[in-house]
C-alpha cells in the first residue's frame, strides 16, 4: 500500500509541475509524472527501506515529497541536454 501512495504522490507532483510550467504535450506531462513518482519511491525507500511496501511513516512521506521535488528540479534542469 505504501508503494502505491508514494507513486501517486510523485505522479501528482509531476502533474502539478506540468501545470505550473505550462507544458501541453502529453509526453512531457507523462515524463514529469514518471520522474516525480520515481523520486518519491526512492526517497521513501531510503528512509524506510523495505517497510515502504507495507506502511509509511510521516517522515517517509515528507522525505518522499522532497525527493520528488528534487528529482523533478534536476530533470527540468537537465531536460534540454537529454536526447529525449
pLDDT of 84 above 70: no
pLDDT digits (tens, 9 = 90+) for 9-53: 999 999 999 999 888 899 999 999 999 999 999 998 888 877 767
- At a CB cut-off of 8 Å and minimum separation 6, what does 22 contact? none
pTM of the prediction? Answer: 0.86
Residue 80 in this model has a pLDDT that exceeds 90: no
Instruction: Quote the CA–CA distance of 1 and 58 in Å, as a whole number.
Output: 15
Q: Per mean pLDDT, which range of 29-38, 51-60, 70-79 is the poorest? A: 51-60
pLDDT for 76 beyond 70 = yes
Amino acid at each position: 500500500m505504501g508503494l502505491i501512495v508514494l507513486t501517486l504522490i510523485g505522479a501528482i507532483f509531476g502533474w502539478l509541475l506540468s501545470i505550473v510550467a505550462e507544458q501541453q504535450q502529453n509526453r512531457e506531462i507523462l515524463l514529469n509524472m514518471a520522474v516525480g513518482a520515481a523520486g518519491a519511491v526512492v526517497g521513501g525507500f531510503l528512509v524506510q527501506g523495505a517497510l515502504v511496501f507495507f506502511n509509511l511513516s510521516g517522515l517517509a512521506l515528507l522525505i518522499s515529497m522532497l525527493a520528488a521535488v528534487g528529482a523533478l528540479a534536476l530533470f527540468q534542469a537537465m531536460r534540454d541536454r537529454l536526447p529525449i
